């Protein structure tokens, strides 16, 4: 299993750093975020170390994500929130601070401090198809 001895979430996974665990199995664990953007903010991580999601084998990702339905439901029930965001950041520019793949499960309630901007744009003629071709070509 990949482990980075300097990684804070590898240490959480190993139990070397305490955490408020919500669930765990051989593949993944979920624990409370110590810097919550909303009360009830939970992190779901694969147990092995990968920095970004595109590095993960699909099976390892599936074994992590299989917990998401129950986790989102539990966060919703426990907090009484109206909505839930699942966020996953890759790279500094995207807001990633801890370089071990993690999924934020964030309860949303009216008046909550956490918001984000969604600046929907539009493509010039042909550009969307061009980018779709480029992305398909890189699969």
Q: Catalytic positions, please? A: 102
Angle ∠(41,102,110) on CA atoms, nearest 5:
25
Q: What is the smallest separation between the CB atom of 98 and Zn ion, expressed in angstroms?
A: 8
Q: What is the smallest separation between the CB atom of 80 and ligand AMP, expressed in angstroms?
A: 22
> Quick one: what does residue 100 bind among Zn ion, ligand AMP, none, with the CB cut-off 5 to 8 Å set by partner type?
Zn ion
Q: Which of 13, 19, 44, 75 binds ligand AMP (CB under 6 A)?
A: 19
SS3 at position 61: helix
Q: Which of 4, 33, 52, 63 binds ligand AMP (CB under 6 A)?
A: 33
Q: How far is CA 100 from CA 3, 11, 124, in A?
A: 10, 11, 37
- Measured from the CB atom, the residue of 35 and 80 that comes closer to Zn ion is 35
* Residue pointed to by tokens 């070397």: 16
DSSP state of 8: H
Give every CB contact of residue 82 below 8 A, 6+ residues apart in sequence.
108, 109, 110
Q: What is the smallest separation between the CB atom of 34 and ligand AMP, expressed in angstroms?
A: 4
Angle ∠(84,33,108) on CA atoms, nearest 5:
20
Write out the residues near Zn ion by the rule CB under 5 A: 4, 7, 9-10, 49, 100
**71-110 positions binding ligand AMP, by CB under 6 A:** 89, 95-98
- Measured from the CB atom, the residue of 52 and 85 that comes closer to Zn ion is 52
Rounded-to-integer distance, Cα 11 and Cα 13, Å: 5
User: Using CB under 6 A as the criterion, which residues of the chain lie in contact with ligand AMP when the complex forms?
Assistant: 8, 12, 17, 19, 33-35, 43, 89, 95-98
């Amino acid at each position: 299993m990949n482990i980075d001895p300097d990684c804070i979430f590898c240490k959480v996974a190993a139990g070397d750093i305490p955490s408020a665990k919500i669930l765990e199995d051989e593949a993944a664990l979920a624990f409370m975020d110590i810097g919550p953007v909303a009360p009830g903010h939970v992190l779901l991580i694969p147990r092995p170390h990968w920095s970004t999601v595109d590095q993960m084998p699909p099976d390892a990702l599936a074994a992590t994500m299989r917990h998401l339905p129950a986790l989102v439901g539990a966060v919703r029930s426990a907090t009484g929130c109206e909505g839930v965001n699942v966020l996953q950041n890759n790279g500094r520019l995207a807001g990633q601070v801890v370089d071990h793949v993690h999924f934020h499960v964030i309860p949303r309630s009216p008046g909550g401090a956490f918001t984000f901007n969604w600046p929907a744009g539009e493509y010039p003629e042909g550009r969307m198809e061009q980018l779709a071709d480029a992305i398909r070509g890189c699969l």
